[in-house]
């Protein structure tokens, strides 16, 4: 019997392990988004600045099309080999591919082979990320009491934001000390080189932890599925569709905040790159601070109500947020970002928790990774590219919000009808009525 103090220490170590690895994954993705304009010049030098940026963001989006593949493979491994094993694989693969990006030759050196290699490595990044968010959620929350899952789940959302903030300051530091000419030749490589030590740290803290008690219970009961994808496809269609809907809003909102807004402020609103990075970082720091509060609110009032409040918030506040940010002043930009940050914190933390609570233990990794990564591949991942294309086509600083508002509207209509309340559900291997209700 584990004492309460010992159980608390185990949960804190699990939160640290999930957070460190998650930070590493999203730092790698964030730095690409922040360096998208420079990457466009390095790998698409014969294009205009706008076309180069769009091409670079398109490569950013390409990685998301490989997320479902990674989710299927790594999610299945998580249900067959354990949550910890999958997270160790994903953090090593992400670290290796990101480090290799730092070593890529430019277009001027090898021609079209350069963007081809970039696309290949981005696809491998997408594959590894396919199991990270859902794997971290299962790993952490399967060790957490039911009445505190929202608070602990906020670690996943908050560390993603922290990684983006750190990525923005790394970008700002590099741009401050490296000349424009050197930035294109070698300066852009520096943030990607940080991936190697981060991967080693993430791997170390994860392999030091024991497997989750839920997965150990599955093994003890002989309920580890040898074909979890097939089982999830037969029994978990409704939870997969619900996951797709909540993840579409959550993922798109996060990538607007984490990737698109900084390029929007510099390319569309015409702020300096430094000002755009600083304002974006301030907004994400506020979002990071709101995530634990959103988690506690969902523990108190339930996942459904809090998630739907956030989704409706995007519908109502999306266009006004971009009206404010389009004015370009410090105060309007920060207030506009706040109108996005509040609903995003609500949908993000509740999505993390529902990825676990909607699914039975035996198919949790496979089912949640399937719905989550389909949403990110076909809705959220292309978001920065779609928003930039709308801004370029319309010349408007407001209409880029339309894609986000439309996605939130469609998802909310579906969720109002079908999303159940999941707070308090038993998520162990012995669930019976809970699984039947989820289906």
Q: Give the number of other Cβ atoms within 10 Å of residue 434's Cβ.
A: 17
Say which DSSP state 426 is in. -
Residue identified by tokens 């050197």 is: 182
Distance CA 3, CA 353 (A): 25
Q: Which domains does the chain have, with CATH numbers?
A: 4-418 (1.20.1250.20)
Angle, to 10 degrees, between the axis of helix 149-177 and the axis of helix 132-141? Answer: 140
Under-70 pLDDT residues of the chain? 1-7, 33, 46-58, 60-61, 430-439
Question: What sections of 130-265 are H helices per DSSP?
Answer: 132-141, 149-177, 180-185, 190-193, 195-207, 213-220, 228-235, 237-255, 261-263
Closest-CA residue to 184 (of 108, 116, 96)? 108
Helix then strand count (H, E) for the chain reads 23, 0
Distance CA 194, CA 212 (A): 29
pLDDT digits (tens, 9 = 90+) for 244-281: 999 999 999 998 998 889 889 998 999 988 899 889 98
Q: Give the number of other Cβ atoms within 10 Å of residue 304's Cβ.
A: 18
CA distances in angstroms from 351 to 134, 168, 261, listed in the order given: 10, 25, 22
364 neighbors 232 (Cβ within 8 angstroms): no
Whether the pTM exceeds 0.75: the reply is yes
Closest-CA residue to 22 (of 213, 256, 201)? 201
Give the pLDDT of residue 359. Answer: 94
Give the pLDDT of residue 313. Answer: 98
Number of residues in the chain: 439
């Amino acid at each position: 019997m584990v004492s309460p103090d010992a159980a608390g220490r185990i949960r804190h170590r699990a939160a640290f392990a999930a957070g460190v690895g998650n930070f590493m994954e999203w730092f790698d993705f964030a730095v690409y988004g922040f360096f998208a304009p420079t990457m466009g010049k390095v790998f698409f030098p014969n294009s205009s600045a706008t076309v180069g940026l769009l091409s670079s963001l398109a490569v950013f989006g390409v990685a998301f099309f490989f997320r479902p593949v990674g989710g299927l493979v790594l999610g299945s491994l998580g249900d067959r080999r354990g949550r910890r094993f999958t997270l160790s694989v994903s953090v090593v693969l992400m670290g290796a591919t990101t480090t290799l990006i730092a070593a890529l030759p430019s277009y001027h050196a090898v021609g079209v082979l350069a963007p081809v290699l970039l696309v290949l490595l981005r696809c491998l990044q997408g594959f590894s990320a396919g199991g990270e968010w859902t794997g971290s959620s299962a790993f952490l929350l399967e060790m957490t009491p039911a009445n505190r899952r929202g608070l602990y789940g906020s670690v996943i959302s908050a560390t993603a934001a922290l990684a983006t903030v750190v990525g923005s300051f790394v970008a700002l530091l590099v741009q401050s000390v490296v000349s424009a000419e050197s930035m294109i030749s070698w300066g852009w490589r520096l943030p990607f080189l940080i991936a190697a030590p981060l991967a080693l740290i993430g791997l170390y803290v994860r392999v030091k932890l024991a497997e989750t008690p839920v997965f150990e219970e599955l093994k003890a009961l002989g309920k580890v599925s040898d074909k979890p994808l097939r089982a999830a496809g037969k029994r978990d269609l409704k939870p997969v569709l619900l996951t797709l809907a909540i993840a579409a809003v959550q993922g798109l909102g996060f990538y607007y905040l984490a990737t698109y807004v900084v390029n929007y402020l510099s390319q569309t609103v015409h702020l300096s790159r430094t000002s755009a990075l600083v304002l974006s970082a301030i907004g994400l720091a506020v979002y990071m601070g709101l995530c634990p509060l959103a988690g506690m609110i969902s523990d108190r009032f339930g996942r459904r109500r809090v998630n739907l409040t956030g989704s409706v918030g995007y519908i109502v506040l999306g266009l006004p947020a971009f009206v404010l940010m389009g004015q370009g002043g410090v105060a309007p930009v920060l207030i506009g970002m706040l109108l996005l940050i509040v609903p995003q914190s609500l949908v993000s933390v509740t999505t993390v928790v529902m990825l676990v609570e909607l699914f039975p233990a035996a198919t949790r990794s496979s089912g949640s990774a399937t719905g989550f990564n389909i949403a990110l591949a076909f809705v959220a991942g292309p978001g920065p590219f779609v928003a930039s294309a709308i801004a370029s086509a319309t010349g408007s600083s407001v209409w880029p919000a339309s894609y986000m508002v439309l996605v939130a509207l469609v998802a909310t209509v579906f969720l109002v009808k079908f999303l159940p309340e999941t707070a308090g559900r038993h998520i162990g291997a012995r669930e019976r009525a809970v699984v039947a209700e989820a289906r």
